[in-house]
Structure 1
Amino acid sequence: MSLALTLEGAQVLRPGGLDQAPLGFADGVIAKAPVGRAVDLSGYQVLPGIVDIHGDGFERHVAPRRGAMKDMGGGIEACAAELAANGITTGVLAQFFSWEGGLRGPDFARAMLEALGGVRDRVEVDLRVQLRLETHLLDLYAEFEALVVEFGVDYVVFNDHLPHERLAAGKRPARLAGTALKSRRSPEALLALMQEMHDRRGEVPGAVGALAARLAARDVRLGSHDDHSAQDRAEWRARGCPITEFPETLEAAEAARAGGDGIVLGAPNVMRGGSHKGNASALDLIALGLCDALASDYHYPSLWRAALFLERAGVLDLAGAWALVSAGPARLLGLDDRGELSPGKCADLVVLEPGSGRLVATFAGGRVAWMAGDVAARFLG
């Protein structure tokens, strides 16, 4: 049930910065004037709900162990609860469509989309999906495109995980046996498939460019993953992919900024102080102004913690830091109805506890998505 409430006494982060003017919401949107019952939130902070543009932490809920995927819908519902507990009111579930198999395989992608469709209306958080296509999976492009159309996927990212250098040198890729087990192939069969895809790499630019054009004509947002160079970014931009997720180098990020592209970095990278793969530091790129949005990547709690860390470390003020997890990703996704606390926008908001900065309540579309601790007494009276 969408509530009609006016929050009073709190510091509210609006587009112009923090103020203590009352914040009302009703019918799922921010109101122009006080409405409904007043709730005293003196001492607390109220900020826009978080928009997670890329997160694959849902995998732990839908497949906690190998073969334990009997209730994928229930797993997605559990994931929605975790999202809400971390202030995420819009969550984009990043699902692979890859030759790697297992959780990344085409069959799993379809099963996940079907399960998501079955529970989406039962959760408060707005659950969306991103499909990540392995670009060298040429023979399955038609199947991938059909899946996008059937399930109304509105965000596609292109990815290439083939170890081209080792394949070109005739060497066995690292962790071949483990990947083969996930893909339900023998190591020899998987190696032969990988070698075949590598050998056909000359066909990929034309094929992926044509697919990107067809998807763009359907208003699907497009991006690339792990750009390594300015040339990489220029090529993806030319294909109509204006978003770069997790650029690996300063060069790629600078090229994206120069070309007007959206830059997505990982919040776990911020919290770790660097990339676990040795790529460019998100903290350094943010300090240089080379970031439009932070993503949870593989760890949902990192989003709100990274935003507060950036503010406390003096890298950005609170408005700038929080925009990286709210207004920034909303803009890249074309969701102009959320990301900030302004009249007419979605009543997506979070409440932070005084002193500790702990996240204690989440409202999504004006509905209680999660609440814990002493703040509950303020709402329950």
Structure 2
Amino acid sequence: MLSIRFENARVMRPDGWDEAPVGIEDGLIGGGARSVDLGGYDILPGIIDAHGDGFERHMAPRRGALRERDSGMVACAAELAACGITTAMLAQFWSWEGGMRGPEFASEVFESVACVAPTVPVDLRLQLRLETHFLESFEAAEAAVDRWDIPYVVFNDHLPHQRLAEGRKPPRLTGQALKSGRSPEAHLALMQQLHKRSSEVPEALDALCARLGARGVRMGSHDDQTFEARAAWRARGVHISEFPETLAAAQAAREAGDAVVLGAPNVVRGASHAGNVAASELIAKGLCDALASDYHYPSPARAAWRCVELGLLDEPGAWRLVSEGPARLLGLHDRGTIEDGKRADLVVMDRDNRRIVMTIAGGRVAHLSGDIASRLM
């Protein structure tokens, strides 16, 4: 681990920018034996990514042709660090959809993280995304949470209920079936079967959430659309709303004191790819606690600066959405701000172009690029 003190940089502290030195000793902020001049650079808290599945392309770079397990996760950790992410919640489906969303692939991801996490500086953590109607696999999913010590479970429902209720085929059925390894007919039959059991789902979720909550597992709902849906999740102890699709759902979460996670790519591109409420609109109304990478690891840093460019937030306020905010909602009180005694998670940026040139995670260099290397050497 580093024993070092950075001087002459601009530093983003909880109260804003200052130029006081930042030391690192024993993996924590404070102290530091050797001084290094970082004049011209900015030092910010490391990014905490509350939800991201960009690792899929590392572990399965070509669908059906090549799978990389441990080496893929190592490559993922390197990309995370290059993007300034020092803590990553890897969001993995546990779904009837099969393929890369099925339990078999999920188990590969969980095993890979268990193997790789101790060997890399970036803190790799797991989120299990459980499909609400996958009732027959609730027990297995719960066992996976216990086995892999998964701290965060999010509930999704990707069944096209309206189409199924009307007896119509869902859109993109053939492509989804091929990804699952099923024929279109078998895939449709499975969806119809799951849809027919909808009346059983609320009671099953009540019981499952009670058991997970008793274990201290954090829980979130995904793609909330209505006030009523958010209220139902809250009654189960599910206090994080991920990517709400409407203003009403986000307001319902905020009014009840629940946390709201939005997608950073939505901010970067200026709109939801699915046509839902724009993240920038919710941020402007104060309805965001954290910006997550979703499917694109470079986006959190870019989204924070985009919020500044749009006039939605000042620089410290925008960066809090990718550092202090996600730390708070995930219960990671040892990180998220640059303060003595906290975990030494730092991002160093070139002030001229906001390019990330160094990432330090837990007091270890996770990424280093360009001329700044000569200053450390």
User: 1:22 corresponds to which letter in structure 2?
Assistant: P
- Secondary structure at 1:339 match in 2: coil
- Secondary structure at 1:278 match in 2: coil
Equivalence map 1:132-211=2 (5 Å): 132-211=129-208
- Secondary structure at 1:340 match in 2: coil
Q: 1:343 aligns with which of 318, 340, 343?
A: 340
CA distance in 2, matches of 1:68, 1:134: 26
The yes-or-no answer on 1:311 pairing with 2:343 is no
The yes-or-no answer on 1:102 pairing with 2:99 is yes
Corresponding residue for 2:76? 79
CA distance in 2, matches of 1:69, 1:215: 35
Equivalence map 1:322-337=2 (5 Å): 322-337=319-334
Corresponding residue for 2:248? 251
Which consecutive residues of structure 2, in runs of 5 or more, have no partner in the other structure? none
Corresponding residue for 2:7? 8
Corresponding residue for 1:26? 25
Question: Once superposed, which parts of structure 1, at least 4 consecutive aligned residues long, lie more than 6 Å away?
Answer: none
| TM-superposition CA deviations, 1:188-211 (whole Å, max 9, x none) | 111111111101101001101110
Distance 1:284-1:69 versus aligned 2 partners, 3 A rule: same
Which consecutive residues of structure 1, in runs of 5 or more, have no partner in the other structure? none
CA distance in 2, matches of 1:295, 1:6: 30
The offset of 1:35, in angstroms, is 2.2
8 Å CA contact 2:225–2:249 kept in 1: the answer is yes
RMSD, aligned α-carbons: 0.9
- Count of aligned positions: 377
Corresponding residue for 1:377? 374
Q: 2:278 aligns with which of 276, 281, 286?
A: 281
The yes-or-no answer on 1:236 pairing with 2:236 is no
- Secondary structure at 1:89 match in 2: strand
8 Å CA contact 2:58–2:68 kept in 1: the answer is no
Q: 1:49 aligns with which of 40, 46, 50?
A: 46
CA distance in 2, matches of 1:326, 1:265: 14
**TM value normalised by structure 2:** 0.99
The offset of 1:282, in angstroms, is 0.3
CA distance in 1, matches of 2:140, 2:193: 19
Corresponding residue for 1:123? 120
CA distance in 1, matches of 2:99, 2:14: 43
| TM-superposition CA deviations, 1:82-111 (whole Å, max 9, x none) | 000000000111000011111100111111
Q: 1:217 aligns with which of 198, 207, 214?
A: 214
CA distance in 1, matches of 2:180, 2:125: 26
The offset of 1:69, in angstroms, is 4.2
- Secondary structure at 2:155 match in 1: strand
**TM value normalised by structure 1:** 0.98
The yes-or-no answer on 1:17 pairing with 2:16 is yes
| TM-superposition CA deviations, 1:195-242 (whole Å, max 9, x none) | 111011010011011101101111100000000011111010001000
- Secondary structure at 2:130 match in 1: strand
| TM-superposition CA deviations, 1:39-95 (whole Å, max 9, x none) | 101111100000000000000000011124443110010000000000000011100
CA distance in 2, matches of 1:220, 1:69: 33
User: 1:209 corresponds to which letter in structure 2?
Assistant: D
CA distance in 1, matches of 2:373, 2:279: 35
- Secondary structure at 2:90 match in 1: strand
| TM-superposition CA deviations, 1:97-148 (whole Å, max 9, x none) | 0111111001111111111111111111000010000000011110110111
Q: Which has the higher mean CA deviation after the structures are superposed, 268-277 or 369-378?
A: 369-378
CA distance in 2, matches of 1:67, 1:324: 37
Identity %: 61
Q: 2:357 aligns with which of 348, 357, 360?
A: 360
- Secondary structure at 1:165 match in 2: helix
| TM-superposition CA deviations, 1:272-330 (whole Å, max 9, x none) | 11101000100010010000000000100011011112123321111110000000001
CA distance in 1, matches of 2:182, 2:65: 20
CA distance in 2, matches of 1:358, 1:91: 20
- Secondary structure at 1:47 match in 2: strand
CA distance in 2, matches of 1:132, 1:331: 20
The offset of 1:176, in angstroms, is 1.2
CA distance in 2, matches of 1:313, 1:376: 33
CA distance in 2, matches of 1:115, 1:42: 39
The offset of 1:375, in angstroms, is 1.2
